[in-house]
A and B are shown apart, each in its own frame.
Chain A
Amino acid sequence: MTDEGNGQNRESPKEPAREGSVGLMEPPVATTKGDGPPINGALLLRAGSLMGFVLVIAYFALVAPGFLSVGNITNVLEQSAILGVLSFGMTIVMIAGGSNVITGGIDLSIANNLGLSAAVYAILLKTGQPDIVALSLTLLTGLAVGLLNAIAVVSIGILPLIATLTVMNICAGFELVITQNTVLQASSPLLAVLAGDGPFGIATLAYLLLIIGLILIAVIEYTPFGLRLYAVGGFREAALAAGLSVNRYIATSYILSGICASIGAVLSVALLSGSSTGSGDMLLSVVVTALLGVVFSRRLVPTISGSLLSVLFIGFLINGFQLTNISSYWVNGVEGLLILFAVATTSLVRRREA
């Protein structure tokens, strides 16, 4: 059965198999490895990307006065908070689902989940529910959508791309039903705090982005749970052999992504003082930032810190455009070129190393 494993996605051994002692002898091969990490393409790519980030910031700092002022940086962080939180959710799903975008993990419902959760939050506040009730029901909504994704992907076995696409449509429908395609104004004590400034006059949302980012970095990159998520996505059979309940980890990733969406919804309602239409338009930006984050990691895998960096990168880019009066119409195009560049270089590096 050795040749019947049918692991199409699995790498096949490159060395030819031999036929017992009737086969041929091999020249001696040394089996020691150097201690330090070798200088490789991945490292260069990462350094290059960071350098690019720094150069972009340096350029805008030179041409746009006030670009590096505390107020402006806070502004960028505040504006990036929502995209950031969504991007974290997407990253978690990509970690647990593996790198293949079509068959691996992806959560296309995340942006519309935000729209739906924001609508739920706004309508609850509008009907006079106290903050705590509204907040918990909002988080519950996001969680429920995540659960639906998890069931579709893990229990039913629908391809993630298409499962989450369908759930996305369902979310968009419910959002429209709730909002009747209008903006629902909302206000509450909690929202006032969130929309206001925290210590040192820096926006609360900016703090929240960094705090949520740091918590998730700790959980995903520094705990056994995170390591296992990577194992599940990196080599499913290996995770199975290590006794992990793979399906539970994948399901968890979708649920976490759903929760991220609803947290994003709360931030979004705070930032815009209400629900908004067209939150689904953020989806592609979320995908782009999560994928772009890969070039910021040493092993060329999605990471929370990488996604945070790429969200900030894009945030600074947009902000720099605004300050230097470059038309915002260029933003999408630049994002598109960035993703193409990132992907072309990562695949080049991977091919080199293979």
Chain B
Amino acid sequence: MALAKGDPVLSMHGIVKTFGGVRALDGANLEVEAGNIQGLVGQNGAGKSTLIKILAGIHRPDAGSITIRGLHCPHLTPRQVEHLGIHFIHQDRLLVPTFTVGEAMFLGAEPGIGRLPFLNRREMARQATTILRDHFDVRLAGGALISELTPAERQIVQISRALLRDPAILVFDEPTAALVRREVDRLFEIIRRLQAKGITIVYISHYLSEIESLCDQVTVLRNGVDVGHVSLKSSSTTEIVSLMLNRDIDEMFPKRAVPIGEPVLKLNEVSARGAFNEISLTLHRGEILGLTGLLGSGAKELVQSLFGLVRLHGGTIEIGSERTKVSSPPSAVSKKLALVPEDRRAHGVALQMSVRENVTLASLQRFVCFGFLQPGREKTATNELIRKLSIHTASQASPVGDLSGGNQQKVVLAKWLSRQSALYLLDEPTVGVDVGAKVEIYRLIGELAEQGAGILLLSSDLLELLGIADRILVMYRGQLAGEFNPANSTSADLLSCATGTSAVSEYVNAVSAESGR
């Protein structure tokens, strides 16, 4: 059925979904007009994923109605959804790593050899190559293995997979989570090209800037309800932010004043082969030292090397005023270093272990008496930290997997607080944490500094650095490229330093416009 641009092509009305007594969706609405790029935003836990899973036929709504291309669909199944021409591009890039590009693209609708029920691998590879070249200008052998592709290439393979099935609506669920900037631009170009072909797009993200530059209409979800439908022609991102948060952006970064003490960490010309060269820096008690740099600048490796995860090949480290070596995480922990890793669920918390077990994991020796752990003391200490960090958990015995992302991150911080660490290495501590929890984590970082800890904050969120750091170091190609005082710098300054150019004016303008600095 042909639809004119602007006709409603998909509408979900009054959707309610309850999981075990918890309302994930509480009467949410979503209207999508044909030919548009419709944005869907909301914090973690706002119900975006549930809404999309209902649309995909994976979950069945408790109440509400769904109309797709004029058809009323009370009981969607994944197959039916596919027949209706709705296809999904997931953030996980759901492709089997051991498959070839062709196999991955055609899985589920494989061409046969004539009438024989055998796989026509040659045909799959050929068609795959053609599609990639014609639609995306990507030269990829159809026989290449998925595991050899970059995340962006896998994303494109996924989109091609959907295109094979002649979609009417394409749903992108957080498609940029693993993409770098350039790849994101390219993806947007592709999405606009798809729109030009008459395909309706639903784009889900929590990166507002993406929504702003891409979408025509935006639906904002909060607590399982749609709290606003905004046309981006007539309103700004700040409006969306306040809808999402129900609070003002200026409250994000709590201000504090801490006297800077004596040095806790001194690096003298440390180098790691292939990562960074002769870096010298000093971190003081009570100081929050910001660090940033592109992927490959060596900033991440620098932080990892301080925790013994990357080997140093030269230079010396002084902790306190003692020259030491950090050869492995155990030795780092014994020197009262703490690392909050970027990938929280892979390296930060053990999801199946209880809150208490996670909190005391790095400081078990504290609770040992005559060789045995003292459960009473463990409980008291954990309770104290749960209160201090306001970790929302049913009890200290519940598995950390039951907690939200922000609370899991607080558990990681609690683990190091329990260790009474003196030096905190924070690697992107607010990635994947919703805005509310971010503010609490900033407050905590501030408190740590007040209590005299030294903090090295590695972040690629420049606003965050400018908001809470006392000093910001920028790395470029394995070198320290600049030092900035947040009070009189802008994210544009940091950005041009990090990219090693001043020819980034268009981004600079965009960034400064958004940050308002």
B294's partner among A26, A32, A230 (CB-CB below 8 A) is: A26
* Pair A242/B145 contact, Cβ less than 8 Å: no
Given A31-B152, A32-B139, A5:B92 Cβ within 8 A: yes
Contacts of B92 in A (CB 8 A): 5, 7, 10, 237
Which residues 234-249 of A sit at the B interface, judged by CB distance below 8 A?
234-235, 237-244
A4 to B344, CA, bound (A): 11
Q: Tell me how far the C-beta of B489 lies from the nearest C-beta in chain A, rounded to whole angstroms.
A: 14
B334 within 8 Å of A by Cβ? no
Contacts of B152 in A (CB 8 A): 29, 31
* Pair A19/B460 contact, Cβ less than 8 Å: yes
- The 5 lowest CB-CB distance pairs between A and B, nearest first, are A20-B209, A13-B178, A3-B432, A26-B180, A21-B209
Contact flags A49-81 to B (C-beta < 8 A → 1, else 0): 000000000000000000000000000000000
* Pair A16/B428 contact, Cβ less than 8 Å: yes
Beyond A3-B345, A24-B292, A218-B118, list 11 extra A-B contacts (CB 8 Å): A1-B44, A4-B44, A8-B345, A17-B432, A24-B462, A26-B181, A27-B499, A29-B180, A38-B148, A231-B99, A238-B107
Q: Tell me how far the C-beta of A12 lies from the nearest C-beta in chain B, rounded to whole angstroms.
A: 5
Given A26-B181, A218-B118, A241:B90 Cβ within 8 A: yes
A12 to B401, CA, bound (A): 16
A184 to B149, CA, bound (A): 57
* Pair A24/B98 contact, Cβ less than 8 Å: no
* Pair A24/B498 contact, Cβ less than 8 Å: yes
A22's partner among B44, B104, B148, B209 (CB-CB below 8 A) is: B209
Chain B residue at smallest Cβ distance from A226:
B119
Q: Tell me how far the C-beta of B226 lies from the nearest C-beta in chain A, rounded to whole angstroms.
A: 16
Q: Tell me how far the C-beta of A305 lies from the nearest C-beta in chain B, rounded to whole angstroms.
A: 15
Contacts of B48 in A (CB 8 A): 1
Q: Tell me how far the C-beta of A214 lies from the nearest C-beta in chain B, rounded to whole angstroms.
A: 13
Stretch of B10-18, B32-40, B441-449, B509-517 on the interface side: B509-517
A228's partner among B108, B144, B182 (CB-CB below 8 A) is: B108
Chain B residue at smallest Cβ distance from A354:
B147
B433 within 8 Å of A by Cβ? yes
A14 to B341, CA, bound (A): 12
A12 to B351, CA, bound (A): 15
A73 to B103, CA, bound (A): 37
Contacts of A101 in B (CB 8 A): none
Given A18-B180, A23-B461, A241-B88, A230:B99 Cβ within 8 A: yes
A191 to B191, CA, bound (A): 65
Contacts of B356 in A (CB 8 A): none
The residues of B with any CB-CB pair to A shorter than 8 Å are 44-45, 48-50, 78-79, 82, 88, 90-92, 94-99, 103-104, 107-108, 110, 112, 117-119, 138-141, 143-145, 147-153, 174, 177-183, 206-210, 213, 292-296, 300, 342-346, 351, 401, 404-405, 428, 431-433, 460-464, 491, 495, 498-499, 504, 507, 510-511, 514-515
* Pair B181/A24 contact, Cβ less than 8 Å: yes
A5 to B404, CA, bound (A): 11
* Pair A20/B117 contact, Cβ less than 8 Å: no
Contacts of B431 in A (CB 8 A): 16-17
A147 to B498, CA, bound (A): 60
Interface centre among B98, B104, B510, B511, by most A CB within 10 Å? Answer: B98
Contacts of B148 in A (CB 8 A): 33, 38
Chain B residue at smallest Cβ distance from A28:
B182
Contacts of B110 in A (CB 8 A): 224, 227
Given A22-B515, A234-B98, A1:B45 Cβ within 8 A: yes
* Pair B514/A21 contact, Cβ less than 8 Å: yes
A23 to B209, CA, bound (A): 10
Contacts of A230 in B (CB 8 A): 96, 98-99
Q: Tell me how far the C-beta of A216 lies from the nearest C-beta in chain B, rounded to whole angstroms.
A: 14
Contacts of B504 in A (CB 8 A): 25
A16 to B179, CA, bound (A): 8
Number of interface residues of A (CB under 8 A): 58
A2 within 8 Å of B by Cβ? yes
Chain B residue at smallest Cβ distance from A234:
B96
- Can you pick out 13 interface pairs between chain A and chain B where the beta carbons lie within 8 Å of each other? A1-B50, A4-B405, A15-B295, A17-B428, A19-B207, A22-B209, A24-B293, A29-B182, A35-B141, A237-B92, A237-B94, A241-B94, A243-B108
The residues of A with any CB-CB pair to B shorter than 8 Å are 1-8, 10, 12-29, 31-38, 218, 222-224, 226-228, 230-231, 234-235, 237-244, 299-301, 353
A32 to B148, CA, bound (A): 11
Q: Tell me how far the C-beta of A268 lies from the nearest C-beta in chain B, rounded to whole angstroms.
A: 31
* Pair B107/A32 contact, Cβ less than 8 Å: no
A241 to B87, CA, bound (A): 10
Chain A residue at smallest Cβ distance from B474:
A24
A15's partner among B179, B207, B499 (CB-CB below 8 A) is: B179
Contacts of A31 in B (CB 8 A): 138, 150, 152-153, 183
* Pair B178/A17 contact, Cβ less than 8 Å: yes
B117's partner among A12, A23, A38, A224 (CB-CB below 8 A) is: A224
Contacts of B96 in A (CB 8 A): 230-231, 234-235, 238-239
A231 to B109, CA, bound (A): 13
Q: Tell me how far the C-beta of B300 lies from the nearest C-beta in chain A, rounded to whole angstroms.
A: 7
Contacts of A13 in B (CB 8 A): 151, 177-178
* Pair B78/A243 contact, Cβ less than 8 Å: yes
Chain A residue at smallest Cβ distance from B462:
A22
Q: Tell me how far the C-beta of A293 lies from the nearest C-beta in chain B, rounded to whole angstroms.
A: 15
A235's partner among B97, B181, B295, B432 (CB-CB below 8 A) is: B97
A235 to B515, CA, bound (A): 41
Q: Tell me how far the C-beta of A4 lies from the nearest C-beta in chain B, rounded to whole angstroms.
A: 6
* Pair B143/A37 contact, Cβ less than 8 Å: yes
A34 to B129, CA, bound (A): 12
* Pair A19/B461 contact, Cβ less than 8 Å: yes
Contacts of B45 in A (CB 8 A): 1, 4
Contacts of A29 in B (CB 8 A): 150, 152, 180, 182-183
Contacts of A25 in B (CB 8 A): 181-182, 294, 495, 499, 504, 507
* Pair B78/A19 contact, Cβ less than 8 Å: no
* Pair A33/B206 contact, Cβ less than 8 Å: no
Interface centre among B92, B119, B138, by most A CB within 10 Å? Answer: B92
Q: Tell me how far the C-beta of A280 lies from the nearest C-beta in chain B, rounded to whole angstroms.
A: 32
* Pair A238/B344 contact, Cβ less than 8 Å: no
A226 to B153, CA, bound (A): 25
A21 to B510, CA, bound (A): 8
* Pair A32/B178 contact, Cβ less than 8 Å: no
Chain A residue at smallest Cβ distance from B408:
A3
Contacts of B88 in A (CB 8 A): 241
A25 to B182, CA, bound (A): 7
Interface centre among A14, A234, A237, A238, by most B CB within 10 Å? Answer: A238
* Pair A22/B463 contact, Cβ less than 8 Å: yes
Chain A residue at smallest Cβ distance from B208:
A20
* Pair B460/A23 contact, Cβ less than 8 Å: yes
Contacts of A353 in B (CB 8 A): 147
Chain A residue at smallest Cβ distance from B90:
A241
A16's partner among B98, B300, B345 (CB-CB below 8 A) is: B300
A2's partner among B99, B174, B511, B514 (CB-CB below 8 A) is: B174
Contacts of A244 in B (CB 8 A): 107-108
A26 to B495, CA, bound (A): 11
Contacts of A8 in B (CB 8 A): 345, 351
Contacts of A223 in B (CB 8 A): 117-119
Contacts of A16 in B (CB 8 A): 295, 300, 342, 428, 431, 460
Chain A residue at smallest Cβ distance from B81:
A243
Contacts of A234 in B (CB 8 A): 96-99
